[in-house]
Structure 1
């Protein structure tokens, strides 16, 4: 029996490895793992077709992975030491491996159920990682798996990651907020503050800041996008453990909403 694939299951994951051989090895295994691509397909069926939510397939995971690596690399450049380096004397390459894997696998539990998916993601991801990381020595493998699972469980509402890497994944997940994320539920008829406010986000730009290591600039086409920032991003940033390193700025370009909010800082 041949199962028709959704578009998300055919997309290969691409991130800038920047000579990190651990990322190269992990990506090769992930992009050739039918179980993972099938899980992403199942997740998107649950998210888009059954729950009328935004994309939660490989597109979302690739965006989160790229954001997370961008955040981590800026922090490292600004002398912030990743937890896996500080606590286990591993390398920045291992830290990048942790944020990559957690970014790509944090929602695997949605293949089972949306409610409680963070907990379900733990045992699915744990099983996947034991095969994906077979190129690592057992001690390194055990540490990386533990750190990935810590990041996965702490992307949930109310999560309080104890690691820099976990905080990065938590925030990166929230920063995937541009309007394409809500177009699917909106066009399917789901009109609420979540879909409308997400449609207001045109672009999210992440760069090295001057006042703080990371500057996140969010460009909106109308002021309803403030809901995404003040209610959703703010809650993910709180207790992430990296909030002190980020400056969030939002700008509205709408000429028709009376310019209630031209600029907003979090």
Structure 2
């Protein structure tokens, strides 16, 4: 293990994510279930993610583990910051053009998944990884990996309660409208720093789409493909976020430097 993808003080991700180096030298993102998640359900979702091909989802390579150990899965490593870490690096909410592009990219990803009959069922600020090539969605199936009774009693482990659609918080099955609700919460978070803002806190361009996404009635929420028009073009990452990504990459290179011949590892 070379480090954590998530801040050590950050406990909002529905799964644990680490940067690791395999014996053959490949660098990967390793994902494991949280201690308060059903590992069997999580393993089923990891295997399901491995079989998917949705641009914008963090791809799953290997899936491992068994009855005697925790399940795990891997993804190719690219420098990435979870959305909460990106806001910390930037010193607050992201600029409007970034939020616009982020919304369009996430809506496009969800629309592709929904067209295949797949709900992400785990979208939250911590599930969004920002990279120089655009956002990637991690934590696939986090809602499905939690027992419905657990969701009703205490909320989904690691998932910001503001990102969970009311029908799912009540134990309902995850579906596309729940993803759209979560998308609204993520965009509200990116623009204001929290997932349940007052309408007046939202920038003008987000008020209508976010309010519609956060409707308590699933039938009143827009379909994801109708939100793609928020912005066209690449996502312009703020300079502090680019610097944080560069530092992560540089730290990884330093961690991978071989020791001199006359020294041994501690």
Whose relative contact order is higher, 1 or 2, with alpha carbons under 8 Å and at least 6 apart? 2
Q: Is the shorter-chain TM-score for this pair beyond 0.5, marking a shared fold?
A: no
TM-score using structure 1 length: 0.30
